[in-house]
Amino acid sequence: MPHLTLEYTDNLETQINIEQLMHEMHAVLLSEKDIFPSGGIRIKAYPLHRYLVADGRTGGAFIHLTLKIGPGRHEAVKKRIGDRLFKVLEEATKVLYEHIPLALSLEVTEFAPPGTWKKNNMHSRASQS
């Protein structure tokens, strides 16, 4: 872990480089190697084709990030990582934010151990690089 999910309205597809945003956020998570082993990092992005934003008028957009992490991290660690990811999001959408109705959000949650199963052989590969 961590698993980062980006949900975004599909009207942003031509206005923001989602792949680049994913890579920038990946760099943030990789830089926290004392907190997150690289073999556990997952990032996925989903364009939303059906949505309503705010008052329902066309042209509104949003990007919502959900970061799921293993339990037990200190609140200060969660805040630091959340702040860093949100800063990347704000930078990536800075110009866009000035021109269209745009909502940005980030939620950090923890996986609950009793309801989590894992099997992963990527840690050994990640430690070789």
What pLDDT shows up at residue 123? 64
CATH number of the domain residue 118 falls in: 3.30.429.10
Output 123 or 122, whichever has higher pLDDT.
122
What pLDDT shows up at residue 56? 86
pLDDT digits 0-9 by tens, 71-102: 989 999 999 999 999 999 999 999 999 999 99
pLDDT digits 0-9 by tens, 4-57: 999 999 999 999 999 999 999 999 999 998 999 888 999 999 999 999 998 888
**Where residue 122 falls among pLDDT bands split at 50, 70, 90?**
confident
54: left (phi over 0), alpha (psi -120 to 50) or beta: left
What burial letters (b/e) apply to 2-18, b meaning 16+ CB within 10 Å? bbbebbbbebbeeebeb
Q: What residues form DSSP beta bridges with 102? A: 61
What pLDDT shows up at residue 117? 73
What pLDDT shows up at residue 111? 86
Helices 18-30 & 75-92 angle (0-180, nearest 10): 150
Which domain covers residue 46, as residue numbers?
Answer: 3-128
How many structural domains are present in the chain?
Answer: 1
Q: What is the mean pLDDT of residues 94-111?
A: 95
What percent of the chain shows pLDDT beyond 90? Answer: 72
Model pTM score = 0.88
